[in-house]
Amino acid sequence: MAENHFYDHVDTYLQMAVEYEASDIHLTTGFPPAWRRHGNLQPIWDDAENLTNEQVEVLIDSFLDDKGKEKLARIGDADCSYENQFARYRCSVVQHRLGKGIVFRIIDTNIRTMQDLKLPEEYLVPLTRYHNGLILITGSVGSGKSTTLAGMVDFINKDRRDHILSLEDPIEFVHTPQGCHINQREIGEHSESFPRALRAALREDPDVIVVGEMRNLETIQLAITAAETGHLVLGTLHTGNAPRTLDRILDVFPIDQRGQIRVMVAESLRGIISQQLVPNADGTGRCLALEILVNSPAVAATIRDGKTFMLPGIMQTGKNIGMTTMDESLRDLYISGQVTAEEVLHRCEDRSVMRDFLKS
């Protein structure tokens, strides 16, 4: 008979996740306890039984506070941050068809520097030294955006003597003041929404504003305005590459405003960093594929004219200022033997060109 593998406190599962370097833990009614390791979601034990809703309720009671439980009962989901002796976590609790489910994202509380992350510092450091403008870090969920953002904020914290104001949902990496005065505000805890926190931020004399996620029209509009009015704004978006990021920003605005927004973005944008975490060929971890767009006169003209489809060509000719496309980054990882041809083909933008490359 299969062993149940049920524990009555989430900390037991979370301790295992930290010890075995999992990125996420899934504890969901109707499924066995599962974790995501090296990008793959799999049961923690092969013989584990499915969790019952009563068991998941016990796990929810073990960590969720009364405010979170009230929200879960009222609207069917609750997000929060959680911390124990092993690590910090970003957590989502939801009601679904079979019962309730919990997902924890394990946050590596050790802030990794740009050097640790092997980011191209010679091109990214100049972006962090602007005193106004917009830097965007983009990618799908779980692509390492928060880690890259934390590394860049850490560099600014050491490099400058300014006021950094970070708006997050929830707070993940905890920054201590080094060269800078740094304040971190958690949405839902210290302010009700990103737009409200951003409006308040402009009255708090910040030099650098970090927006954990640019989700909607009002947040994007306020971020662009802040970038134009003398603040360096760093934000994240769930988009796959630079052209799609710019299209996403423009598409949230009403059609009659898009011409004006194109001009504002063309003038305020400093750079876009798009990324993917690709499983290593040997199955031991993941490596970073990075697309970088740096604003140049050619890029700005393309944005103003609404011709974002031309950006990949401009990026291919902009290597001298640090630009590279996602496909070029994937090719480099393949040539160096770090990733497989299957992963490259699965993740690239132009499959026909990539197939020809792999054949040759």
Per-position DSSP letters for 282-293, written without gaps between them: TSS-EEEEEEEE
- Residue spans of beta strands (DSSP E) within the chain: 24-28, 34-37, 40-43, 77-83, 88-96, 99-107, 133-138, 163-168, 181-186, 208-211, 232-237, 269-279, 286-294
pLDDT for 35: 97
Cβ within 8 Å of residue 245, ≥6 positions away: 136, 138, 237, 239, 272, 274
Q: What is the pLDDT of residue 160?
A: 97
- Around Cβ 95, how many Cβ atoms within 10 Å? 16
Q: Quote the CA–CA distance of 208 and 153 in Å, as a whole number.
A: 9
Residue 38: half-sphere exposure toward Cβ, Cα within 13 Å: 10
Residue 38, phi-psi category: left (phi > 0), alpha (psi -120 to 50), beta (remainder) = left
Cis peptide preceding 170, ω within 30 of 0: yes
Q: What is the pLDDT of residue 109?
A: 76
Q: Which amino acid is at 254?
A: P
Please give the domain boundaries of the chain with CATH numbers for all domains. 10-107 (3.30.450.90), 121-359 (3.40.50.300)
3-state class of 313 per DSSP? helix
Q: How would you write the pLDDT of the chain (360 residues) with one tens digit per residue?
A: 346 789 999 999 999 999 999 999 999 999 999 999 988 899 999 989 999 999 999 999 999 999 999 999 999 999 888 999 999 898 999 999 999 999 999 987 789 999 999 999 999 999 999 999 999 999 998 899 999 999 999 999 999 999 999 999 888 889 999 999 999 999 888 999 999 999 999 999 999 999 999 989 999 999 999 999 999 999 999 999 999 999 999 999 999 999 999 999 999 999 999 999 999 999 888 999 999 999 999 999 999 999 999 999 999 999 999 999 999 999 999 999 999 999 999 999 999 999 999 998
What does pTM read for this prediction? 0.88
Instruction: List the one residue out of 194, 195, 174, 196 whose CA is nearest residue 184.
Output: 174
